[in-house]
Amino acid sequence: MTGPSTARPPMDPDEEAALLDAIDKWVAGEVTPQVVMEHDHKDVWPEKLVSQMAEMGLFGATIGSEYGGLGLPSSTYAKIVMKVASHWMALTGIFNSHLIMAAAVERFGTEEQKQKWLPKFATGEIRGGLGLTEPNAGTDLQAIRTTARRDGDHYVLNGTKTWITNSINGSCYAVIAKTDPEANPRYKGMSFFLCDKRPDGGEGFTIGKKFDKLGYKAIDSAELVFDDYRVPADQLIGGVEGQGFFQATGGLELGRINVAARGVGIAEGALRLATQYAQERQTMGKPIADHQAIQLKIGEMVTRARAARLLTLDAAAAYDRGERCDMEAGMAKYFASEAGFQNAQEAMRIFGGYSYSKEYEIERFYRDAMLMCIGEGTNEMQRIIISKQWVKRNLA
């Protein structure tokens, strides 16, 4: 099963430029270093920025206009993510995970589900994310233990999801569970549900341990705990059991393009900070940017950031043409996240001792960067996916 087409026409270049300009202005005015450092250092949810993102329509960025979203193609969306992430990567997680949940409903949901949920997702009235990972199952998604047993017009969920982005400040999640734990192969027994914290009886659905993280601060990561949680049967995405594995992994191409865009943002942001510092800081009577050792670093950083951007836009263009792009999305995710990590590291070296001070922004890029190498399928797995797909496309 490949799922419904992801094809979407490119945006009119003038309209795209105006939209990106508006994002630039918002970032310059609101996502300032002072605001970001304040929230990042104290690990506080950026409520005001979230309201502004809702007003700009970012929670509906990729949701079709017929459901109240902006209907952006993934290539335009990736450019927005790059811009925001080049100042504060964690902020993009607040709408990224939410939009992957929305994409699952838009691509695989019934028409009733789309009509009911997508307009509220688009305005940000209901925000959420994706509940795949469990304490014993990350990469090996088929090893999940959460079960969903049919009981009349409900399913009863039991199990724990972990590391879930937006778990505390969101209210609805696309959660994968086993409707047939004995199925062989295992993926045939997996189904995808929209689980919401209903004011009128989300009993049995609680938020567990909140993680105290190295980076990716201010955005919440915690456990979703289901203990005889009753979810209405009409919240089974697509209305048919056994499709969950394909529905969840079908969203990963878009998820990987989004993570790649965040990697590009980190790579470009670290480069921006390092370029400025290298011209201000003087040693031996001249700016360090004039020393060859620093020039070699900046030369590599610029090239990496540019290559990461091009690979990401290439994958997004394939996605927007409706083509299968697991290899392209995998290459973009792998390369761009490593580019972000390497550029953050090199920028730390350029900042010298001051890189260790929380008065400078570069330490945040360093703390945030590694997550991009892990989330949405680790970079070990990406290389395996790329290799398998490459060989398949080039059979001897």
DSSP 239-254: G-TT-HHHHHHHTHHH
Count Cβ atoms below 10 Å from residue 188 Cβ, excluding itself.
16
Nearer to ligand FAD, 130 or 261 (CB): 130
The answer to whether residues 235 and 229 touch, using CB atoms and an 8 Å cutoff, is no
Residues 286 and 302: their CA atoms lie apart, in Å, by 22
The answer to whether residues 162 and 245 touch, using CB atoms and an 8 Å cutoff, is no
Give residue number: closest CB to ligand FAD. Answer: 138
- Least distance from C-beta 201 to ligand FAD, angstroms? 25
Binding site for ligand FAD (CB under 6 A): 97, 129-133, 138-139, 163-165, 213, 216, 221, 371, 374-375, 378, 380-381
Residues 262 and 82: their CA atoms lie apart, in Å, by 6
Of the residues 55, 323, 376, 380, only one is catalytic, namely 376
- 234: nearest Cα among 266, 272, 193: 193
- Least distance from C-beta 135 to ligand FAD, angstroms? 8
Nearer to ligand FAD, 109 or 138 (CB): 138
Strand segments, DSSP code E, in 216-305 are: 221-232, 282-283, 286-287
* Residues listed for the chain: 396
For residue 257, report the phi and psi dihedrals to the nearest 5 degrees: -65, -40
- Least distance from C-beta 290 to ligand FAD, angstroms? 39
- Least distance from C-beta 18 to ligand FAD, angstroms? 32
Nearer to ligand FAD, 271 or 386 (CB): 386
Q: Is 134 assigned a catalytic role?
A: no
Q: Could you tell me the two tokens for 286?
A: 């001249």
Nearer to ligand FAD, 164 or 329 (CB): 164
Convert 286-295 to b/e letters by CB count within 10 Å (16 or more is b). Answer: eebbeeeebe
- Least distance from C-beta 40 to ligand FAD, angstroms? 14
Nearer to ligand FAD, 75 or 235 (CB): 235
> Quick check: helix, strand or coil at residue 226?
strand
- Residues serving a catalytic function are 376
